[in-house]
Amino acid sequence: MNNSSSTHTRTAILGLIGLMLVAVNLRPALTGVGPLLRRIGETLTLSSAEQGVLTTLPVLFLGLAAPLAPRLARSLGIERAVLAVLLVLALAQLVRPYTGVSGLFLGTAVAGGCIGIAGVLLPGMVKRDYPQHASLLTGLYTATLCFGAALATGASEPLRQLMNDDWRPALAFWLLPAVVAAIVWWTRLDGKRVPREPVSAVAKSLFRDKLAWQVALYMGLQSSLAYTVFGWLPTILQDKGIDAVEAGLAVSASIMVQVVSAIMAPWVASYMRDQRAMIVLVMTLTLVGMAGSIYGPSDDVWMWVIVLGLGQGGTFSMALTLLAIRARDAGTAARLSGMAQSLGYTMAAAGPLLLGVLHGMTGDWRVAGVFLILIGLGATAAGVGAGRNRYVLDD
């Protein structure tokens, strides 16, 4: 009896470690590019528009690949699907810095697709394996994801300087967390035959549900701001005269403080009548921090990036929270997650691209900043609709 309990505990701990290691890998392939973007552009002679495409591709493929997640789960089993995604992610990050412009773009797209698939699979695993602690683990999962994003943002430029001022090995470095996660995940399988996920019965389409669209729009618009920050904020800060290393560290700090609001925002909102007030609060912080980072004096940049991080951590965790609480059951929540992430991330891809195009046309980040503020206002409006205490598919 004791041996059985010990085995169960060990399996649960190993499973939790595996989940957190996978979560660490859901942003470095994206956020590691931003601090190196200027060097990449100079080395490969990329225009502002082409650099915008590079920051957009992974976000676009986050959305395009998300619908593949249920199919992979049904054919391979969800555990084996996650392992396959980790291996392909590691390979893409190994290849993309060393295969020229085409390889860089292709590898970045593949990495984004892998992250999109894993991002759909993991929340379902949390709900399945830890149903009594789903909220807590969603917070931990979000915090770990933010940690991985911050680590890559802050360390990529120092890594480049350590590696003979070469951005290629600094970018390839981020395959190592994927390899570690794959090894731990492999031991988690432990030779067992992993059951395949059942095919869901035909259900009413979410695409005809207004609330589902509001959730998807909020997910997409707040994600557009997030990936624009990942891809462009280091360059924006450098153009304000801030040193490249300090710019990377500032954005890293912004992402790191997201851990605090990522955990606190859903917890505090759970004591409120609905989620609208919290969404307005975190979106306001995001807009204030964004405006300060672009329009404020360079001396105050650390204050603004911290405010921005506190806002964006809350906006993202609230988006993930809405995927669960706007559905009456786990099956509907999974479908809502797939719809919102597929549509949302595909929509979000336009943000970094259009920002690059606007800056290329005007040469002025202040003009591009107006575009970001408009996105934030749209996200706030969608979030107010999605934050009402209602359920999708209710007649």
In a domain, 391, yes or no: no
| 325/320 Cα distance (integer angstroms) | 9
CB 194 within 8 A of CB 78: yes
In a domain, 310, yes or no: yes
In a domain, 393, yes or no: no
In the chain, count H helices and then E strands: 18, 0
Q: What percent of the chain has pLDDT over 70?
A: 91
| 224/116 Cα distance (integer angstroms) | 15
In a domain, 395, yes or no: no
| 35/4 Cα distance (integer angstroms) | 49
In a domain, 289, yes or no: yes
Note down the domain range covering 321: 2-386
In a domain, 333, yes or no: yes
Total domain count for the chain? 1
Question: Which CATH number characterizes residue 90's domain?
Answer: 1.20.1250.20
Q: Looking up tokens 């095919």, which residue turns up?
A: 199
In a domain, 392, yes or no: no
Tens of pLDDT, residue by residue over 172-207, are: 999 999 999 999 998 877 555 455 545 444 567 888
Q: Which residues contact 218 (CB under 8 A, 6 or more apart)?
A: 279, 319, 322, 344, 379, 382, 383, 385, 386
pLDDT band at residue 267, thresholds of 50, 70 and 90? confident
Residue 67 has a pLDDT of 85
In a domain, 157, yes or no: yes
Residue type, 184: V
pLDDT band at residue 330, thresholds of 50, 70 and 90? low
Cα of 354 vs its chain's centroid, Å: 19
Residue 190 has a pLDDT of 59
Q: At what angle do helices 301-325 and 100-129 cross, to 10 degrees?
A: 50
